[in-house]
């Protein structure tokens, strides 16, 4: 494998559809309120992809140096674990991705607010820095919050609330109460993807003392928690759709819950942890589908 291929492997491009779902949903909400800006959309997507790549590099590094990525792990081998990249190279990759992401943050907030809104620019710059810090601290360092059962909370906040509402604010300069509903839906489904990962790695995480929420709750309660996340996502999107739908096309997002419902049934019947792995991709793509269908439903320019 070439070095470029190794970096692409470490970047885990398959995780990107889930990471940009919040931006797509936030843009859909802005469109609903009559706001649109293709350059903001493009820059916001690139910024979010940058955050996700930082997170993937840091996760590879953090779990690798802690020994969590070992022969007991069921999922795909990581770059450090398999020797494709060294810990030093991954640290350099994190640094480069951080610089690029900060430049993207500055660019998108300048486009959105201009030099006359210094306060908003500073606020979003702080949020951007905090997002990068959270992406790194998930598994890196002694105080890594992913090892304390807080990963789900941070994923819900950053992939859901901040991504959706923050993206919407870039266009509209305001947030509505009902916008919280799709933000909660995306956050719940994103936390569900993480929970599947933790259900799959339950035994290896427990041995490595990586105290994810599933390790804290136990395997059976971890599955119940997963079902709760899926139900919350459906209810919040249903409420949002019933409130805003004015034509049949705007019920389109609810179709995303057909594959999510099938996923619900599959997870219910899973007995072996290894069987969770294919469901990660299905739920991640279903979340992306939900965001795209919402974008189509409320984009007046399609």
Q: Which three-class secondary structure string do you get for the chain?
A: CCHHHHHHHHHCHHHHHHHHHHHHHHHHHHHHCCCCCHHHHHHHHHHHHHHHHHHHHHHHHHHHHHCCCCCCCCCCCCCCCCCCCCHHHHHHHHHHHHHHHHHHHHHHHHHHHCCCCHHHHHHHHHHHHHHHHHHHHCCCCCCCHHHHCCHHHHHHHHHHHHHHHHHHHHHHCCCCCCCHHHHHHHHHHHHHHHHHHHHHCHHHHHHCCCCCHHHHHCHHHHHHHHHHHHHHHHHHHHHHHHHHCCCHHHHHHHHHHHHHHHHHHHHHHCCCHHHHHHHHHHHHHHHHHHHHHHHHHHCCCC
Where do the domains of the chain lie? 17-298
- Quote the pLDDT of residue 144: 81
- With beta carbons less than 8 A apart as the criterion, state whether 148 and 198 touch: no
**In the structure encoding, which two tokens stand for residue 101, read together?**
């992401």
Helix (H, G, I), strand (E, B) or coil at 101: helix
- Quote the pLDDT of residue 12: 85
pTM confidence score: 0.92
Picking from 234, 292, 298, 225, the residue whose alpha carbon sits closest to that of residue 260 is 234
List, in sequence order, the alpha helices (H) in 173-208: 180-200, 202-207
- Quote the pLDDT of residue 74: 64
Task: Give the chain's end-to-end CA distance (angstroms, integer).
Answer: 41
- Quote the pLDDT of residue 8: 84
- Quote the pLDDT of residue 244: 87
CA pair distance 80, 15, nearest whole angstrom: 18
CA pair distance 257, 246, nearest whole angstrom: 20
Residues of the chain with pLDDT below 50 are 301-302
Q: What is the pLDDT of residues 201-216, one digit of tens each?
A: 888 888 878 888 998 9
Handedness of CA 285, 135, 156, 66 (dihedral sign): positive
For helices 163-172 and 38-66, the axis angle rounded to 10 degrees is 160
Picking from 4, 14, 21, 10, the residue whose alpha carbon sits closest to that of residue 187 is 21
- Quote the pLDDT of residue 67: 62
Phi/psi region, residue 34 (left: phi>0; alpha: psi -120 to 50; beta: rest), is left
CA pair distance 302, 295, nearest whole angstrom: 10
- Quote the pLDDT of residue 302: 47
């Amino acid at each position: 494998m070439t070095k470029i291929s190794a970096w692409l492997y470490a970047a885990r491009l398959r995780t990107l559809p889930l990471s940009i779902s919040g931006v797509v949903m936030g843009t859909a909400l802005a469109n609903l309120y009559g706001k649109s800006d293709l350059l903001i959309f493009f820059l916001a997507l690139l910024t979010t992809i940058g955050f996700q790549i930082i997170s993937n590099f840091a996760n590879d590094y953090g779990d690798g140096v802690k020994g969590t990525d070992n022969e007991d792990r069921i999922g795909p081998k990581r770059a450090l674990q398999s020797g494709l990249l060294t810990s030093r190279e991954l640290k350099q990759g994190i640094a480069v991705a951080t610089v690029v992401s900060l430049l993207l943050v500055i660019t998108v907030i300048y486009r959105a607010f201009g030099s006359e809104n210094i306060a908003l620019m500073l606020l979003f710059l702080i949020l951007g820095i905090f997002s990068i810090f959270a992406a790194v601290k998930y598994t890196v360092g002694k105080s890594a919050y992913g090892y304390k059962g807080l990963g789900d909370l941070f994923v819900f906040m950053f992939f859901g609330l901040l991504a959706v509402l923050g993206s919407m604010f870039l266009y509209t300069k305001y947030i509505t109460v009902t916008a919280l509903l799709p933000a909660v839906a995306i956050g719940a489904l994103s936390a569900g993807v993480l929970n599947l990962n933790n259900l799959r790695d339950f035994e290896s995480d427990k041995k490595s003392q990586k105290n994810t929420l599933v390790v804290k709750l136990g395997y059976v309660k971890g599955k119940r928690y997963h079902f709760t996340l899926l139900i919350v996502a459906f209810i919040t999107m249903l409420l949002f759709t019933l409130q805003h739908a004015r034509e049949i096309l705007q019920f389109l997002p609810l179709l995303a819950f057909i594959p999510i419902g099938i996923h619900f049934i599959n997870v219910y019947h899973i007995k072996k942890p290894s069987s969770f792995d294919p469901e990660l991709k299905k739920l991640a793509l279903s979340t992306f589908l939900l965001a795209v269908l919402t974008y189509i439903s409320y984009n007046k320019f399609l």
